[in-house]
Amino acid sequence: MKKVRLFLSIVIILLFSIQNMHSEETEKSVFIQHKLLKKKLVGIKAKHVADVCKSQARFPMIAEAGLNYRFAEGYGEESETLQETPAVEDPKPIHQVFPVYPYELRQKGVWGEVKLRLLIDKNGDVKGVDVVKSLHPYLDYAATMAFLQWKFEPIQRKGKPVPVTSVFTFDFSPEKYALIDRSVETEERIRRERIFAAQDELRGILNKCAEYSRKLDGSALDFVCEESIRETHQYLDPVEKPQIVTTKKEARGRNWDGTAWYYAVFSKYRAKYTIRSERNRYLCDYQLIKSGDRIEERRIILKENPKKTSLHKKRLEERRFAVLRPIFAAVMLLGRDSQGMFDYAIIDEDRISGKKAYVIEAVPRYRNIGSIEKARIWVNKQNFQILKIVINGVPLEGYDDVWQDATMLAIKPESIITHIYKLERNGVMFPDRSSIFIEYPAVSPRELIVKVKINMSYDKYKFFTVETEHGIIKKRSEDL
C-alpha cells in the first residue's frame, strides 16, 4: 500500500513539472514572436524613410522646403506633414482664376509664357508657387497670385490622396484675352446702361470731367518748375530660397460646459531675407513739354543728399519718378475713352483748399486695367476742375523690385498714390504735391514692411506755353 501511494505521488509531481515547462515555453514563444514583429515594423519604417530620402534627393526644392512624410508614433496613422512628389498624371483643375493681363503690357508687345512649379496638397489646394521661367515682373506676380487660388482634383496613390508637385505653363496671349474681354464686355455693357440711366447727376459730372480731360489731353504745354523729392526705399535681399513650411499645431480639450474644442494650423509660407534701406533727397529743375501726343520731360539735379551738384548738368532718370506724371492722372481716370473702363459713384462731398468738391470713386470694371484697384477724385463743384486724386495700386513700370518681392513672398502689396492740385493756368490744374506709399502686409507676426515712401513737391512754376482750345499763355525764356 505504501508503495502505491509513493508511486502516485511521483506521477503527480512529474505531471506538474511538465505543465510548468509548457507554460514557460509558451511565454518564451510569445516573447520571441513579439520581438520579431517589432523588428519587422522597425524594418518597414526604416525602408520607408530611405525611400523618402531618395525622393527628396531627386527633388531638392522639396527637401529644402522642409516637407517630409512620417508615421504617427503609436497609432500607425499618417501624420498631417506633407511630402510632395511629382505628379505622374497632370492634375485636373476644378477651379481656375486667370491672371490679370493689363492692356498696357499688351500694347507694348509683352507676351509669352510663364512656367510655374505648383505645390498641391492632398486636398487639391495650391500651397506654394515657384516661378521656373520668368516673363515680366508683374506677369510673374499675377500668375503666382492667380494659381494660388486654383483647386485640383486630388491625385490618388494606392487609393489615397497624396500631395504632389506639378509644372504648369501659362500663355499670356493677347488674342486669347481679347476673346475673354469681349464676352465680359457684353455682360458689363447691359449692366452699365442700367446704372447710368439712374444716375443723371453723376452722368452730368462725368461729362464735364471728360471735357476737362479732353482739354488737358489736347493742350500744348511747355513749363519748368522746381521739384523737391524725398525718398525712402527698402530693398529685400533673399538669404535663401522661400519655403513652404508645413507644420501641424493642434490642441484638443473641453470647455467648462463639456463641449469639445479643437485648434489646428497645418501650413504657412516663410522666406528669409535681409532688408537694405536707402534714403535720397533731390532738388531738381523739372521741365515738361507736350505737343500733340508727344511728351518729353527731364529732371536736372540741382542738389543731391543735400549737396549741390557740380557745374555740369546731371539728369535724374529714375523710372519710379517718371511714371507718376500727376498732371495727366485725370486723363487716365476721367477721359472719354477711359470712362468705359470704370464704374463711378458719388461717395461724398468735401472741401479742398476752401473749394467745394464732389468726391467720385472709380472702380475698374475689368481686372486688366493696369494696376489700378480703385481711385477717388475730388472734382470742383463750380468749374469741374480736378483738385485731388488718390489711387490705390502699384504702377506697372518703374517698380519691378516690388513685383519681384511680391512674387517671392506670395503677398499683395498695398499702395496709395496721392496728387494734389492748386495752381491753375488757362483752365489747366498743375500739381502742388504728389506722393506714393507702398507697404507689404505682415509676412510673419509683428512684421510690416514699408517698401517705398516718396514725397514730391512742386514750386516756382515758369510757363513757356499753356495752350488750350480756349486760349494760350506764352512767356519768353528770358523770364526765367
- The per-residue pLDDT string of the chain (480 residues; one tens digit each, 9 = 90 and over) reads 555 565 666 655 555 555 555 444 444 443 333 333 333 333 333 333 333 333 323 223 322 332 222 222 222 233 333 445 555 567 889 999 889 999 889 988 999 999 999 999 999 999 999 999 999 999 999 999 999 999 999 988 888 898 988 898 999 999 888 887 777 777 777 777 766 665 778 888 999 999 999 988 888 999 999 999 999 998 887 766 655 555 555 555 655 555 555 444 444 455 667 788 899 999 999 999 998 888 899 999 999 987 766 556 788 888 889 888 899 999 999 998 889 889 999 989 999 989 999 999 999 987 766 778 999 999 999 999 999 999 999 998 899 999 988 888 888 899 999 999 999 988 899 999 999 999 988 655 556 788 999 999 999 999 988 776 555 444 444 343
Which among 341, 333, 334, 337 has a CA at the least distance from the CA of 185? 341
Which residue do the cell numbers 525764356 mark?
A: 477
* Residue 272: half-sphere exposure toward Cβ, Cα within 13 Å: 7
Which among 265, 268, 280 has a CA at the least distance from the CA of 234? 280
Q: Which residues of 428-446 are buried (b: 16+ CB within 10 A; e: fewer)?
A: bbbbbbbbbbbbbeebeee
Q: Which three cell numbers stand for residue 95?
A: 477651379
- C-alpha 304/C-alpha 285 separation (Å) is 12
> Domain 40-190 is classified in which CATH homologous superfamily?
TonB (3.30.2420.10)
- C-alpha 183/C-alpha 177 separation (Å) is 10
- C-alpha 289/C-alpha 297 separation (Å) is 6
> Alpha helices of 59-168 — where are they, by DSSP H?
60-64, 103-107, 137-147
Instruction: Read off the amino acid at residue 23.
Output: S
Please state the domain extents for the chain.
40-190, 199-479
Burial class of residue 220, CB neighbours in 10 A (0-12, 13-18, 19+): middle
**Maximum CA extent, the chain:** 153
- C-alpha 325/C-alpha 393 separation (Å) is 15
- C-alpha 222/C-alpha 479 separation (Å) is 13
What residues form DSSP beta bridges with 117?
Answer: 130, 167
Which among 160, 133, 163, 142 has a CA at the least distance from the CA of 67? 163
- C-alpha 119/C-alpha 103 separation (Å) is 30
